Chain A
Amino acid sequence: MKKDGRSRINWIFENFVTFLRKCILRVLSVGPIPEHIAYIMDGNRRYAKKQNMIEGTGHRVGFLALMSMLKYCYEMGVRYVTIYAFSIDNFKRRPEEVQSLMDLMQEKIEGLMEEESIVNRYGVRVHFLGNLKLLSEPVRLAAERAMVATANNSKAVLSICVAYNSTNEIVHAVEKACEEKWEEISLLNASGSGYGLIGLECIEKDERENLIKLIDIEKHMYVSIAPDPDILIRTSEIGFRHLLWAILNFQRNHFYLEKKRKQL
């Protein structure tokens, strides 16, 4: 009887908390809600150390926290969420640590594809951004399968950065832009209308400096599938109240930042 009573109280409490949260989110929604929130998932190892957990558990706890964050974001109507899960620089860690992170990733990616997972509940399309060739084959295949499995979801987007870093992405985008321009020029040449562009000698200097435009590079960025993030959160410990604070800050500065954006 006692156990029943306790679990009943738990049930009431949980539902009350959910109800409160939904009220808060409804109030927040009166103001502008960010379209895209990005998270740098930092601090898992520090957290595990602080809580005296065995190494590796920090990441699992971090993952649970992330799932809650995603739920709050999608409930609020944030369409795009990006998470920075694994950096190319993280490969420098001890091989055992890297391997356990890869195993965890594979396990969680496969979990995402299950029926009751958060991505299917909220209609989220998943993208993996980064130099996926650097991942071990089972992880890369799992990622590709997840992308295909969620390709038809259209309510929201989750971008997961793995084997990613910003400079690698920029160089990759530049390389792709150059390859594309080369093909364009080759085609023009083949059809006889290239004016010998391949040689470059015949072009005016300023034309030569302007063959690759910024827009050509931007469209090859991994992150071009989403608009620019409105808020970037680097976590050390994160809960609902931190997200709330971030959104309130966003709303406070929204007008000023929109003005700056239009100036660009």
Chain B
Amino acid sequence: MVESYFISSGLMKSYKALNLGKLRYLAIVVGSEEAYQTSKVIELLQWLEAIGVKHVCLYDMEGVLKRSKEAILEKMSNTTVFQEADENDKLLDQKHMMLEFVSFSDGKEAVAKAANLLFAKYLTSNNSSEDQEGEIFTEPHMTEALRAVGSGGPEPDLLLVYGPARCHQGFPAWRIRYTEIVHMGSLKSMRYGSLIKAIYKFTMVRQNYGK
């Protein structure tokens, strides 16, 4: 706690120059009861904007944040909402901060919806008596199908959990294969210094990705 005070007041020089190159996509999981504190969420987003994080995914299990989307966007100038269609363009856009709003229904239930899309393709291929089975059920096709059903955001590099337990509460499993998960404590006791420290630690870590 003392350390985070020092970090916030700019006394620790090493935290000043953050190299955000590794942090392409940041996800925040908030406990649904705490998600009602929209002002706290907005404060957190403002801190992230100040730090220079450009792409943030906000998740809470019940979709409280989804419902508060308008209120959040109103208070944040210079932000846009993540749209699947222009994903590639917006990711390169450095001026705006991009927000994505996700809830539990974008996890397992979205996989079931995507499965139905793949099933339709499977039926078509079976009917045309071509053996394409190996080409339908692949990971890229699944990613595409998830995008088609509206739950296809990018994979976060870092996931910060604001809640009583270190639990991602159903964040879509498809997207967090290599994600670093850090528990930040509860939202109401969030500190700028702790946020900087978590991001800094992440940027200093060497990921092997299995190799």
Residues in A lying within 8 Å of B, measured CB to CB: 87-90, 92-93, 165-168, 170-172, 174-175, 177-178, 181-182, 198-200, 208-214, 217-218, 249, 253, 256-257, 260, 263-264
A171 touching B137, Cβ below 8 Å: yes
Some 15 contacts from A to B, beta carbons below 8 A apart, are A90-B210, A167-B142, A174-B114, A175-B137, A178-B115, A182-B123, A198-B123, A198-B126, A200-B120, A211-B119, A212-B119, A217-B112, A256-B165, A260-B167, A263-B61
A208 touching B137, Cβ below 8 Å: no
Tell me if B's interface is mostly helix, strand, loop or mixed: helix
A214 touching B211, Cβ below 8 Å: no
Top 9 A-B residue pairs of the complex, sorted by shortest distance between their CB atoms: A89-B210, A175-B137, A253-B165, A214-B112, A174-B115, A212-B115, A178-B119, A92-B211, A178-B122
B122 touching A167, Cβ below 8 Å: no
Is B72 in the interface zone, CB < 8 Å from A? no
Is B52 in the interface zone, CB < 8 Å from A? no
Closest to A213 in B: B112
User: A87-B210, A89-B209, A260-B169 given as contacts; is B120 within 8 A of A214 (CB)?
Assistant: no
Cα distance A257–B61 in the bound complex, in angstroms: 12
Which of B1-9, B35-43, B79-87, B170-178 lies at the interface with chain A?
A: B170-178
Number of A-B contacts (CB under 8 A): 89
A217 touching B111, Cβ below 8 Å: yes
B127 touching A264, Cβ below 8 Å: no
Closest to A214 in B: B112
User: A167-B177, A170-B142 given as contacts; is B211 within 8 A of A210 (CB)?
Assistant: no
Among B62, B118, B169, contact of A178 (Cβ-Cβ < 8 Å): B118
Cα distance A178–B142 in the bound complex, in angstroms: 13
- CB-CB contacts of B50-94 with A at 8 A, as 1s and 0s? 000000000001100000000000000000000000000000000
Among B104, B119, B142, contact of A181 (Cβ-Cβ < 8 Å): B119
CB contact list, B6-28 vs A, under 8 A:
none
Closest to B109 in A: A214
Among A167, A208, A209, A257, contact of B174 (Cβ-Cβ < 8 Å): A167
